[in-house]
Amino acid sequence: MFFEALDSPFLIFFRSSSSLGIQVHHLTPNSILHISIFVHLCEAFLGIEPHFDLCQYFFHLKLQPSDSKVDVVGGAGMQFRQGKKLLYIPYELTDKVINWKEMWFYVKNDPSSLPHRTPGPPIKRSSWNSRGGNVDHVNFLLEEIEKLKADHQISGASVVVHWTLQRIQPLQRRVHLGFQYTSEEDPTRFTRSKISEVELKDQVGRLLKNVVGAVEIAGSFRAGRRPREVLLRLVDCS
């Protein structure tokens, strides 16, 4: 399930981009969580395909644990750019994951299965600090994010709760995007079973900290509430 969940078109582009040179095993667990929240925010709350330039506006990559000593596994961390966190939806990740590498393992890479892995640690590139392009798109989406926060109090917890209730994996290859989700019979669900309130609270608490009070998920899109046409056009603009 883990490798299957890391097979969305967005993440494939992210990790295989010749300008970034990132592979899945290079990313830390918190980096994967940042990407998951970003992907589902774009699909379910902004009503667009994940926007790579918007991602670069908020985040950059940094060698881990330091520039002088780079880990092969988890050697690249995705972090907020200075001054950009306040412009994004609010959330706090749980404290740094300790000893997570001990729970990882390698399996045989049969043909047409897992992506090819190049040995060695990540190599820092100038593109890691690129701020992307499409300024008009990014500025428009920043305004949409501000509306989500002001009108619906959307936060990182909102995004995690939303994908958990829908029983989907944000980074899993799916037959359609989050704003096309239909119902409990939707083919993108990995299970038909519902999650209890206790389980939901526990899952959110394992990913994010300082989540208090009710978590709002209003303002999201689905098949019965499609995004405005102007948002959909962003996907096709050059």
196-220 pLDDT, tens digit per residue, is 999 999 999 999 999 988 898 988 9
pLDDT value, residue 45: 94
Task: Spell 164-196 as b/e; 16+ CB within 10 A means b.
Answer: eebbbbbbeebeebbbbbeeeebebbeeeeebe
Segment 56-66 shows an average pLDDT of 94
- Cβ contact 167:45 at 8 Å: no
Residue 164 tokens read as 């958990």
Which tens digit of pLDDT belongs to each residue from 136-187? 999 999 999 999 999 999 999 999 999 999 999 888 888 888 889 998 999 9
**Residues 53, 77: Cα–Cα separation, whole Å:** 18
SS (H, E, C) 61-121: EEECECCCCECCCCCEEEEECCCCHHHCCCCCECCCCCCHHHHCCCCCCCCCCCCCCCCCC
- Helix 156-165 to helix 29-40 angle (10° resolution) is 80
- Comparing 14-23, 39-48, 75-84, the range with the smallest average pLDDT is 14-23
Stretch 66-92: mean pLDDT: 94
Q: Which range, 4-18, 177-191, 224-238, is most confident?
A: 177-191
Q: What separation in angstroms does the CA of 4 have from each of 66, 88, 174, 180, 206?
A: 30, 28, 10, 21, 21
SS3 assignment, position 57: helix
Asked if pLDDT for residue 230 goes beyond 50, the answer is: no
- The structural domains of the chain, with segments of one domain joined by +, span 2-236
Q: What is the mean pLDDT of residues 212-230?
A: 79
Cα separations in angstroms, 52 against 49, 76, 134, 164 = 9, 18, 10, 23
Q: Look at 159 and 3; give whichever has higher pLDDT.
A: 159
Over 90: is that where the pLDDT of 24 sits? no
Query: Whats the size of the chain, residue-wise?
Result: 238
pLDDT in tens, 87-143: 999 999 987 677 777 776 666 666 665 666 778 899 898 888 888 888 999 999 999
- In this predicted structure, what is the pLDDT of residue 130? 86
Q: What pLDDT score does 60 carry?
A: 94
119 versus 45: the higher-pLDDT residue is: 45
